[in-house]
Chain A
Amino acid sequence: MPDPSENGFSAAIKALNEVVAPAVDRSNPLAVEQLRLVSMFLEFYLSQRDLSRKLDWTELNLNVELGHAVCACFHSTDPMIKNLNRMLLLASRDLKITGSPASKWRDHTSNILGSVSQLLRSCAYQNFELFETLSSKVLEKSGEILALKRSWFLPLGFEAKPDALPSLNQWFERCPDI
């Protein structure tokens, strides 16, 4: 069954580039620039729309790993990590549910990040040695999460060395059928 949005996106891009763009007043650089950006965004979403669930799943999966690495810095019964442990449990469960809404995965990611941030702030004031240990873990684990996002946004052209990043296919190799 063909995806109707594919034709819709393609037709919109074609109309913008072939009909609208030539009609735009070239002496209006704001309009010329914004038209180009609209067209670029449409191309970006057209090329990656089927992968957005995989992005959300992979991002959550990496953040669950980050969360576990943070928890490992504490004693398992430490009350400070009770909230994060609970979030990790819920997130891990939802990662395994086929057809789970991507918005749910994004919410889990946001909650885990918020909880890790809260732990960092608390430790900075209460136990600086622990803060340093946590920071090292977060810095180490954040590298992979940032690389994922940079691969995702690669077509938008902000990378000085685009070839140095893994492709989206490489990222999503370990992603199950979701």
Chain B
Amino acid sequence: MTSFLPSSVTSDGVVDRDKPSPDFIEVMRSQYPTEKEIDWAFTRRMHRRANGPFKMQSIDDLVGYINAMLKSKLRYAYEVSNASWLGGGGSKLQMKFTLATEQPLKGHFQRDLVLRMEPAESLNPSSRLREGEIIDALAKVIPVPEMYWVDRDGEWFPEPALIYSFSSGIAKPTNFSNQRVTGLGINFGPKARRTLGSQFIECLAKVHNFDHSRCDLTSFDRPNLRSTESAMWQLNRALRGWEEDRAHDIPLLDIARIWLTRHLPELDHASLIHGDYRSGNFLFDPGTEKITAILDWERCTIGDRHRDLAWATSEAIGHYDESGNDLLICGFFPLEEFIDEYERVSSLKVDLGKLHFYTILSRFQQAVTVLGTSYRVVRLKKSHQDILLSRIEAAAYVLLEELRLALAGVVSSKKPILQGAHHA
């Protein structure tokens, strides 16, 4: 197990995660190697952790930063107006505004844009450059916002930020009252369920089949095929977050960690992975029932398609149908239908063994995010949504129960999990 250097440890022998020493940060980096850009995001937050709470910015402050950035980037007249907060994000601070420009050749241009800025620490340490690159790459593939500017290092804004076009639409039906109060478990209603569900799977299939080899994805590392690198990066990212953020031990997570480490699957096909593909992370037009934008790409990576599939199958994200018998994945289809439909639309096979591995990994990632990172962010008052993050601790026990059940079938089993048959 981890042996921390003395300067990371307080007088009572406990690692001081509130004020991590440089030694502790370096131990984490070397012990849990992951993609370069992710390492940068984790390291950056740890070096800044002792700097104090997040200071909430006013709308006027943010407009001032936007103006300063535009002044250096645009060579023609412009105006920023109609700035207002956007809700719905647990992780990033979001503000809508209108940009009007007078361009010498194109004339008058006006567009609603969104500023998406990190708080001092967020639920998910990630890179705005990475998010910007993937959204840009997928512009002609699926509905995504149009990218404008990325401030990776917080040069213009107090924290890293990006600006993209505003997408119209809603995340959950407003005319259907049977909703959980959390924003998870969205019930689209029996009518919209199939229409939106089909598009949800079509978009995922397009992302997973997208040829990213010629895209300029500078902030992504590309895992080697037929190696366990991709799964290891994902696992190490979660382990690093847990070690850097947790308040106490949870034996169940130690069992998961050891099982995952011993069962890393090989990558058969390198797909673009959304990373948090679920209901709540896309917008749709309630009139036409068309998906208008797939959002929240901050966990995106190049890796194994089973990760996106497994992530979406959590009971915390779905809900039961009207009969109460079938869990609808993301509020759309029962599991078997979800997998069948994905295989049909994508022509990519689902390996049930790998799906099980990534189910355990996903619940592990989700649980350590809400029990570890969320705890630390709230404790240190690092975000604009501390109260929301404090509340989602409650979801951890649903996720841990799913993790427990998924582990129960495999921990003492002698069966090699990765020889699971392809789903037919």
Contacts and interface: CB of A to CB of B under 8 A. Distances in A.
Interface of B is mostly: mixed
Interface in B384-424: 384-385, 387-388, 390-395, 397-398, 400-401, 404, 407-408, 411-412
B103 interface: no
27 contacts: A30-B86, A37-B391, A41-B387, A41-B391, A114-B248, A114-B249, A117-B251, A118-B249, A120-B251, A122-B1, A135-B407, A136-B412, A138-B255, A140-B408, A142-B252, A143-B401, A146-B401, A150-B401, A153-B393, A153-B394, A153-B397, A157-B180, A157-B394, A158-B316, A160-B316, A160-B319, A160-B398
A170 interface: no
B74 interface: no
A135 B412 contact: yes
Contact of A160 (B86, B185, B248, B393): B185
Nearest to B249: A117
Interface of B: 1, 84-88, 180-182, 184-185, 248-252, 254-255, 258, 315-316, 318-320, 324, 327, 384-385, 387-388, 390-395, 397-398, 400-401, 404, 407-408, 411-412
A135 B411 contact: yes
B242 to A, nearest CB: 12
Given A28-B84, A30-B87, A143-B404, A38 B251 contact: no
Interface in A129-178: 131-133, 135-136, 138-140, 142-143, 146-147, 149-150, 153, 156-161
Contacts of A159: 398
Contacts of A117: 249-251, 254
B87 A32 contact: yes
A33 B385 CA distance: 10
Nearest to B87: A29
Contacts of A116: 249, 251
Contact of B254 (A33, A110, A121): A121
Interface in A19-46: 27-34, 37-38, 40-41
Given A135-B412, A158-B394, A160-B185, 7 more contacts: A29-B86, A110-B248, A133-B412, A142-B404, A146-B397, A153-B393, A153-B394
Interface in A91-145: 110, 113-114, 116-118, 120-122, 124, 131-133, 135-136, 138-140, 142-143
Contacts of B85: 28-31
A20 B32 CA distance: 47
Nearest to A120: B254
Contacts of B320: 160-161
B193 to A, nearest CB: 16
Contact of A158 (B1, B252, B395): B395
A146 B396 CA distance: 9
Contacts of A156: 181-182, 391, 394
Contacts of B319: 160
A133 B407 CA distance: 13
Given A113-B248, A116-B251, A150-B397, A139 B315 contact: no
Nearest to A63: B251
A30 B408 CA distance: 40
A140 B84 CA distance: 50
